Amino acid sequence: MFTNLRAAKVGRYEPQEVGSIVSPQRISRGKPLHCIDNVTTNRYTVFMTTIQVRTQAKTKKNVQKILAELGLDMSTAINMYLVQIEKQGGIPFPVLTENGMTLKAEREILAAAEDARSSKDSYSSAKELHDAIMKE
């Protein structure tokens, strides 16, 4: 039989059958009464899925070692990463090229270099370039 922790008397607990209606006076019989809050526990079903990732064995081993020092496993770290992507609406850190620049900055430099190559102005020395810049 299930019981509900509806009320407790000083010094002892009197369980009540779930669904029964008992007046506080009947339980306490005129003595001080301590009430215990009812607690409702909800169960949430979490649907999980599997992701398979291919990576270099050396990278995986090194990352597992780092994560172990942090008290995390690979699955937890990847889940943290995915949650941050979702919250921030993108990758949660700047993605850098092999030159240490963001992709946008590298594209701007390459465009400027192409613009310089296609320019009709050309200079035979640094001094000649310097003088042209100073005239502008």
CA angle 19, 20, 26 (to 5 degrees): 150
Q: How far apart are alpha carbons 26 and 38 in whole angstroms?
A: 19
* Per-residue pLDDT at 33: 54
Residue 81 binned pLDDT confidence (cut-offs 50, 70, 90): very high
Q: pTM for this structure?
A: 0.47
- Residue entry with tokens 């649907």: 47
Of the candidates 89, 86, 90, 82, the one whose C-alpha atom is nearest the C-alpha of residue 49 is 82
* Model confidence pLDDT, tens digit, residues 106-127: 999 999 888 878 877 778 889 9
Residue with tokens 């993605």: 95
